[in-house]
Amino acid sequence: MEEKVHDCIFCRIIAGEIPAEIVYEDDTVVAFRDLYPVAPTHVLIVPRFHTETILDLAKTEDVDDTMARVMFAVSRIAKSEGIAENGFRFIANTGRDGGQTIFHTHFHLIGGAPLGEALLPPGSIKAPDDHPLSQVPSKGNDPVKPIVLPDPPGIAHL
Ligand code: AMP
Ligand code: ZN
């Protein structure tokens, strides 16, 4: 499998060709501070092996070990950053609609301040006209009815 993609900025950080403030690393993942932090703690947890998105990572034979290492890194970094007790947000922007800008799989660990309950400011998303979200009048923080999604195949109700 290909180890490093030359024009990939995160492969180059992992290879030590571009500087970054590394806060944790092991054989499988490297974690460094985001260059444009959105909160007091903003760390990117990046598998060393290059895949473009979490969907591509999911197709590799190493996905189980990689995600176990990612979760271990989350735990270690949350403790070392002092945000384990108060909490944080852990997200993977994926693809165009997910707002992914760097196509080397990575996870954001964001915290150190209250982030609020909403993922995005109310009204900041334009849903397709036939989507239930478009039927909800936008009145600040009014609760939005949850959208009921069908179960994925293979998930049984216990
Ligand atoms: P995403 O939008 O999920 O693809 O996130 C990419 C993140 O990488 C953004 O939050 C950027 O601020 C961050 N970023 C871009 N270049 C660098 C860099 N050289 N070092 C650290 N973080 C970076
Ligand atoms: Zn890469």
Q: Identify the burial level of 67 via C-beta atoms within 10 angstroms of its C-beta, where 0-12 means exposed, 13-18 middle and 19 or more buried.
A: middle
Using the mean position of ligand 1's atoms as its centre, give its distance from the Cα of residue 129 in Å.
32
In this structure, of 5-14, 38-47, 116-125, the range with the lowest mean pLDDT score is 116-125
70 or 1, which is more confident: 70
pLDDT at 157 over 70: no
pLDDT at 1 over 50: no
> Are 67 and 105 contacting, i.e. CB atoms less than 8 angstroms apart?
no
For residue 130, name the pLDDT band (cuts at 50, 70, 90).
confident
The residue from 104, 106, 131, 157 that is catalytic is: 106
pLDDT of residue 146: 55
pLDDT of residue 122: 81
Beta strand segments in 75-157, E: 88-91, 107-111
The DSSP secondary-structure symbol of 72 reads: H
Pocket of ligand 1 (CB under 6 A): 9, 18, 20, 34-36, 44, 93, 99-102
Q: What is the pLDDT of residues 97-122, one digit of tens each?
A: 999 999 999 999 999 999 999 988 88
Catalytic residue flag (residue 50): no
In ligand 1, the atom with minimum distance to the C-alpha of 99 is: 2
pLDDT at 158 over 50: no
Q: What is the pLDDT of residues 48-91, one digit of tens each?
A: 999 999 999 999 999 999 999 999 999 999 999 999 999 999 99
Domains and CATH numbers, the chain: 9-111 (3.30.428.10)
pLDDT of residue 120: 86
Residues with Cβ within 8 Å of 12's Cβ and at least 6 positions away in sequence, in order, are 6, 18
Sheet of 88-91: strand order equals 22-25, 29-33, 41-47, 107-111, 88-91
Percent of the chain with pLDDT strictly greater than 70:
83
